[in-house]
Structure formats: structure tokens, C-alpha cells
Amino acid sequence: MFSTEEAGIAACATAGRTGHPHRLRRLAGAGFIAALAAAVTTLAAALVRAAGVDFAVTGGETIPLGGFRG
């Protein structure tokens, strides 16, 4: 059996866990915003490429659309 002191310690140990879901939600929100920004950047590059602009580096190699991730 637990004494009242042990029960109090257990209650205090679990009381501070309320912040974890909030942190995870903030992290997921930031990840979603980053993914959305990367998608918009890639879409913009695809539209510019469709308009006839070539993206190339100094050696003449073309940058693929996957290289335009925000």
C-alpha cells in the first residue's frame, strides 16, 4: 500500500506533464507552416520554369524542382 506521502509525490510527478501536448502541437504547427512554404516555393519555381526561365548553376547544370524547397 502507498502512504499519503507517497501518493502526494506521485501526484506532483504527473502534475507537470500538461505542457507536452502543447509543445507537440506547436511543433506540428511549425512543421506544417514550413511544409506549406516549401510547397509554395516549389510551385513558384515550376511556374517560372513553365514560363521559359531555366535555373542553372555556374557549370551549366540545371537545378531540379526538388531543389527549391523553401
Instruction: Please tell me the predicted confidence (pLDDT) of residue 19.
Output: 57
Instruction: Please tell me the predicted confidence (pLDDT) of residue 36.
Output: 94
CA-to-CA dists, residue 45 to 41, 52, 64, 69, angstroms? 6, 11, 10, 10
Residue by residue, DSSP assigns 21-44 as HHHHHHHHHHHHHHHHHHHHHHHH
Maximum pairwise Cα distance, the chain: 77
* Location of C-alpha cell 506521502: 5
Instruction: Please tell me the predicted confidence (pLDDT) of residue 8.
Output: 56
Per residue of the chain (70 residues), give pLDDT as tens. Answer: 555 555 555 555 555 555 577 889 999 999 999 999 999 999 999 999 899 988 888 888 888 887 776 5
Instruction: Please tell me the predicted confidence (pLDDT) of residue 11.
Output: 56
